[in-house]
Structure 1
Amino acid sequence: MVAGEGSAGEYRVFRLRKYYLYVGLAGLVLFFTMTVLCLLADMDDVPADRRTLLAIISTSISGLFTVSSLWLILSYIYSTLIFDGFKIIFRGVLLRKELDLERVRQLRWIGGGAGIIKLKTLTEKGTIYLDNFAYEDRLWIVERLRNQAPESHQEGWDLFCHRIAMPLRRYDPQTIHVPDKNEVLLTRKRWDWLLLPFILLTAVFGLVAAWKFGLPRMLTAPVLPTALWLFLRYSTPRKGMVARKLSADPEQNSQLAFFGWFLLVYMLIQFVNRFVNFPWLDESTLSISVSVFGICVLFWRSYQFDKANYQKRLEASKTSVKEWEAGLKTDFS
């Protein structure tokens, strides 16, 4: 691809997904309720000289999340990404930034998460998080930048193409996903069945604790499970999404088995160190040594695992790039 391909004069405005509005509204209600409950909490069992400090700490934590939720709502209302010819305009709640694609000296394609695109000129830089936008918008953004930015200034396209770009091109919102034997279909109803009973249980527990034991702060018990449910539910597409089972990846299973056995051995050593006295070895010295050694082993194992996966994705990305250039939508694993 070369710079200048495509309709340079096209004007498009992209806004954040409504998911952020829903999460912001839910968080605002939940955490504002927590803040009020913290202020109204009974502190008779707390010494008088510590009540003010405890109230400030409690309300500060919940208040911080309340402000974050409000900021999320404002971001949904005011934040936009605008493509105007060769110009990209980043408009946020407080700031506005403009980049000229013809002056871009570095465009990094990052395949983590839903995809990240970093642009840099001699004087400005900007970051596009594709997860902020709808699937159809993500594909348009990727194609536009891939076509207009000089290929010599683009980095990491092969892996990004394999992990992000080609799945976006194959995505069809009308398609009903049918998982095979190594996959599972994650739907919103699945999260409802898994988490709503737990939320109800924590709510009952909070009510009983507040009524029987005089602990009004326990009324906030269902807040975190509810936040988790909302996050998982509304980050899942309406038609569901297919995810690979852990049992379908032998290397992943081997990695998890190694971590499990290593944790078991570590706990056994700590147990022996706790109840068996070695006169020639200090207890704290052994505990620290085992912990440091364990961390090093886990980091080394994780590095080897990530390196092997990276090589596999690198090989598969060659096919992805060819299919992208050919404009194909054929499936691949």
Structure 2
Amino acid sequence: MKGNEPTTSEITENDEGFRVFRPKKSDRNDYLLSLVIFTLMGIGFTYSMWLVAHPAQKINAVIAFTLLCSIMPGMMLWGTLICQFSSTTIQNETVLVKGVFSQKEINLSNVIQARWRLTSHGALTLKTLIETGTINLMYLEKEERLWLIQYFQSHLPESVQQNWDLFCLRIAIPLRDPKPKAIRDPGPSEILLTRRRWDWLCLPFIFLFTIGGIIAAWIFLSPRHLLIPIPTIIIWLLMRYSTDKKGEPTQRISADKEFVKLWKFITWWSCICLIIFIILELLNPPGLFGEFPGFIVMALWTPVIYWRLYRSYRIDHLKDLEKAKQAVQQWETGPESVQNIET
């Protein structure tokens, strides 16, 4: 463990003998901009539902869409507050964790549990007999995240550290020993995933959903059906622009048996829910089932999908536990000896 301990010059970088980590102002500004954009979008969608909803259901429609459209602005507001007020200060093995509404001071010698968390860019929860504080690495620079990981992993006893193996596999090793950015040739069970491939995969579905929405809006005399392709468009844009311009090798779907089983389940369950939606539209029953069939179907579809995703996650988790043992060995040997851990 001591082989990964940060150097003395890094720890005593400040004259006062402490080091402060806080999110960048640019991240705060990005969250503020997103807050404004999502708020305006939410107002627009809510106003649209007010226009198309049945007069007797206008209030219910506004309340439902206000709650739905407030999710993203709420997340952006919370991100803004975190970037503005949160920080982590380390001095003489004492950690001061400032959050939006709280401030915790923790001495590392008093820590009885240190849990490495796999959320986003990673996090560490330190627990003493009287205090619990969480250090979120998401809003920090790469070098700062790596410094903190090395510092706590080397200064805390192994006996109090929990989930380090998986954290090492998923967060620490990719951060310290990143894969080369050069595009390599795909292996036998891989393909080169490009933005054009996402276009070929998603645009036909967007076209079909658009035609279906137009037909449904014409048959049922309801403009809200024109919104049907929007979720697919959002997914397409997210996947397309999260893919490197030059492409990246990725495992073929057919090579991952568990993934194939998962998508077969999602497909047939989605078809069943689509049939239920069509039946509700045709029968137009009274009450919420007739006014908001889409919400009813989503309320039915979502928990089943989450249950199946959880099952798939548990299977992958067992595989990761085996890979994590090799990751810990790689971490302890240092960056000079980089081993190949298949992901």
Q: Same fold (TM over 0.5)?
A: yes
Task: Give yes or no for the alignment of 1:141 onto 2:148.
Answer: yes
Provide the aligned C-alpha RMSD in A. 4.9
Are 1:42 and 1:216, in contact at CA under 8 Å, matched by a contact in 2?
A: no
Deviation of 1:120 after TM superposition, in Å, equals 1.0
Higher normalized contact order (CA 8 Å, seq sep 6+, divided by chain length):
1
1:8-44 Cα deviation digits (max 9, x unpaired): 4341424269678657634642442332342365647
Q: TM-score, normalised by structure 1?
A: 0.64
Q: TM-score, normalised by structure 2?
A: 0.62
Aligned AA (1:9): T
Q: 2:338 aligns with which of 317, 321, 329?
A: 329
Deviation of 1:171 after TM superposition, in Å, equals 0.7
Q: 1:87 aligns with which of 94, 115, 126?
A: 94
1:287 maps to none
Distance verdict in 2 for CA 1:93–1:201, change over 3 Å: farther
Percent of aligned pairs sharing the same letter? 33
Q: Which moved more, 1:79-88 or 1:158-167?
A: 79-88
Deviation of 1:110 after TM superposition, in Å, equals 3.9
Aligned AA (1:100): N
- Tell me, in whole angstroms, the C-alpha distance in 1 between the residues paired with 2:225 and 2:190: 39
Q: Which moved more, 1:234-243 or 1:201-210?
A: 201-210
Deviation of 1:216 after TM superposition, in Å, equals 6.3
Distance verdict in 2 for CA 1:219–1:35, change over 3 Å: farther
Secondary structure of 2:70's counterpart equals: helix
1:175 maps to 181
Are 1:158 and 1:320, in contact at CA under 8 Å, matched by a contact in 2?
A: yes
Are 1:166 and 1:329, in contact at CA under 8 Å, matched by a contact in 2?
A: no
Distance verdict in 2 for CA 1:237–1:168, change over 3 Å: farther
The gaps in structure 2 that reach 5 residues or longer are 14-18, 274-303
2:23 maps to 15
- Tell me, in whole angstroms, the C-alpha distance in 1 between the residues paired with 2:227 and 2:35: 13
- Tell me, in whole angstroms, the C-alpha distance in 2 between the residues paired with 1:17 and 1:198: 39
Aligned AA (1:170): D
Describe how 1:101-112 pairs up with structure 2 within 5 A: 101-111=108-118
Aligned length: 297
Task: Give yes or no for the alignment of 1:72 onto 2:75.
Answer: no
- Tell me, in whole angstroms, the C-alpha distance in 1 between the residues paired with 2:340 and 2:239: 26
Aligned AA (1:104): V
Deviation of 1:325 after TM superposition, in Å, equals 1.2
Task: Give yes or no for the alignment of 1:316 onto 2:338.
Answer: no
Distance verdict in 2 for CA 1:138–1:322, change over 3 Å: same
Describe how 1:1-333 pairs up with structure 2 within 5 A: 1=1, 5-6=5-6, 7=8, 8-10=11-13, 11-15=19-23, 22=30, 25-26=33-34, 28-39=36-47, 41=49, 43=51, 46-47=54-55, 49-111=56-118, 114-171=121-178, 175-178=181-184, 179-186=186-193, 224-225=231-232, 227-228=234-235, 231-232=238-239, 242-250=249-257, 253=260, 255-256=261-262, 302=311, 306=314, 310=317, 312-327=319-334, 328-333=337-342
Aligned AA (1:75): I
Deviation of 1:197 after TM superposition, in Å, equals 8.4
- Tell me, in whole angstroms, the C-alpha distance in 1 between the residues paired with 2:208 and 2:27: 26
- Tell me, in whole angstroms, the C-alpha distance in 2 between the residues paired with 1:78 and 1:211: 51
